[in-house]
Structure 1
Amino acid sequence: MEQVTENCISLILSFTTPLDTCRASCVSTEFRSAADSDELWNKFSPSDLSQILSRSLSTLTYNTKRQLYFLLCDSPVLLDDGNVSFSLDKTSGKKCFMLAARRLLISWGDTPSYWSWASNYKSRFSEVAVLQYVWWLCIRGKMKTGMLSPHTTYEAYLIFKLYENAYGLESAKTSIRFVSEREDVPSDEAITVYPYTRSSASNSEQRNGEVSWRRKDGWMEIKTGEFETGTRDDDEVETRFMSIEGQVKGGLIVQGIEFRPKQPVAVK
């Protein structure tokens, strides 16, 4: 190994993953130096990273590209006047975006008696949408696939909270589609989801639909669908969360919709 140059080690590491590179840095001083290479971490990062960060008003402080990588993994930055957040998936370096509630299409969202807008809910955005009272609930989020990492399976999640006295939200329907393919997703293709926590969902609900999970940041999330970015760089994907049955609904707090790479299933 003494005859292997740092550049060669760095090249070898570029064919692994960011986490494997971090593990390799413990092997020796030479590996540590190669694993800290800016050129290496540029390869792990999106090619349009500088362009994305130019949309943020925040100033990021870092000394190396490795530091920038993990900074973006742990601390999402706000883009586009604070209505979009951007981060990196720690295991792959692929792009993650969350659309704030203000960037979503919410039926009756501009009617104060149905929806209100508030802050101080420990949201990464300045405002969240608070459901007061509706019969027809429909929340849509759209994302240009060209903004996401190519040839990647992505999942979409509604990020939300529920008041203790929330009602009418025992179940809902979700769907996802490419806008260029069809006008809408037929109701029989929509997925049934259960916004309450997994611990409160019955066994039959867990078998037949998606249930919500509590995130590390204290918010809840529920999957609304998945899709491939493959050859659709110029397309747009739309996901929906809806409950249009004849039942009054209230007590839902919406932070946004997140698009992030699907994580591989762990082998037991």
Structure 2
Amino acid sequence: MNKLLLQKYWVDKNSNNCFTVYARDLLITWGGDGRYWRWNTVEDGDDRIDAAELLDACWLEVHGKFETAYLSPGTLYEVVFVVKLNAKEYGWEEPVEITLETPAGDKHTRKVDLMQKQRGKWVEIPAGEFRASPEQYGYMIFSLRQLSGQWKKGFVIKGAEIRPKTNK
């Protein structure tokens, strides 16, 4: 039996380092409390990982951090959360707040309306972008939260990808 992964590393076609920080390696408020969250093993390509499913809570808060020294210097990176809303979701009328803070102290915050996202499929929610620099090594911090106090359900998080930004 394969061990569940916390992070994944790969190299893209331009020889840039890329990473996924899976849900088990993120700090999820009440993530260890079975009343609010359920951990499900899912396939991610050839790998098995744990995804966290929000059962019912009035507070959503997910934080991650990553050491930028592992990234390819000079490369423009983006951080995206990989999430899904189940068909039987509720409580997402208020947008979620997405934040990315770089080692240089730059902070990018935006709001995303999950009601506009497709149900039952993994979708990517961009947190922000930054250029990896040898002069600015340190931790970047990324978060996703919705603190409206409204009860919500049906949100599933697989993790966050850190990869070169491409023009799509």
TM-score category, normalised to shorter length: 0.7 to 0.9
Partner of 1:167: 90
Partner of 1:19: none
1:157 aligned onto 2:87: no
Cα deviation for residue 219 of structure 1 reads: 2.1
Partner of 1:107: 29
Q: How does 1:1-268 map to 2 (within 5 A)?
A: 82-90=5-13, 92-119=14-41, 121-123=42-44, 124-170=47-93, 171-178=95-102, 181=105, 190-196=109-115, 201=116, 219-232=122-135, 234-263=137-166, 265=167
Higher strand share: 2
Letter in 2 for 1:135: C
Q: Distance in 2 between matches of 1:174 and 1:125?
A: 26
Q: Percent identity?
A: 30
Partner of 1:65: none
- TM-score, L = length of structure 1: 0.55
Q: Describe the shift of the 1:133–1:228 C-alpha distance in structure 2 as closer, same or farther (beyond 3 A).
A: same
Partner of 1:66: none
- TM-score, L = length of structure 2: 0.85
SS of equivalent to 1:122: strand
For each residue in 1:91-127, what CA deviation from the matched residue of structure 2 results, as whole angstroms up to 9, or x when unmatched? x2211100110000111111110111111x3334331
Would the aligned equivalents of 1:87 and 1:95 in 2 still touch at CA under 8 Å? yes
Cα RMSD of the aligned pairs, angstroms, is 2.5
Cα deviation for residue 233 of structure 1 reads: 5.3
Q: Describe the shift of the 1:176–1:248 C-alpha distance in structure 2 as closer, same or farther (beyond 3 A).
A: same
Q: Distance in 2 between matches of 1:100 and 1:142?
A: 11
SS of equivalent to 2:65: strand
Q: Describe the shift of the 1:241–1:232 C-alpha distance in structure 2 as closer, same or farther (beyond 3 A).
A: farther
Q: Describe the shift of the 1:109–1:180 C-alpha distance in structure 2 as closer, same or farther (beyond 3 A).
A: farther
Q: Describe the shift of the 1:93–1:173 C-alpha distance in structure 2 as closer, same or farther (beyond 3 A).
A: same
Q: Distance in 1 between matches of 2:126 and 2:118?
A: 9
Higher helix share: 1
Cα deviation for residue 230 of structure 1 reads: 1.7
Q: Distance in 1 between matches of 2:112 and 2:12?
A: 25
Q: Distance in 2 between matches of 1:249 and 1:97?
A: 29
Q: Distance in 2 between matches of 1:116 and 1:179?
A: 32
Cα deviation for residue 262 of structure 1 reads: 0.6
Letter in 2 for 1:191: R
Letter in 1 for 2:91: G
Cα deviation for residue 232 of structure 1 reads: 4.4
Higher relative contact order (CA 8 A, sep 6+): 2
Cα deviation for residue 249 of structure 1 reads: 1.3
SS of equivalent to 1:125: strand
Cα deviation for residue 181 of structure 1 reads: 3.2
> What are structure 1's unaligned runs of at least 5 residues?
1-57, 59-77, 202-211
Q: Would you say how many aligned residue pairs link Structure 1 and Structure 2?
A: 163
Q: Distance in 2 between matches of 1:257 and 1:125?
A: 16
Q: Describe the shift of the 1:84–1:226 C-alpha distance in structure 2 as closer, same or farther (beyond 3 A).
A: same
SS of equivalent to 1:146: helix
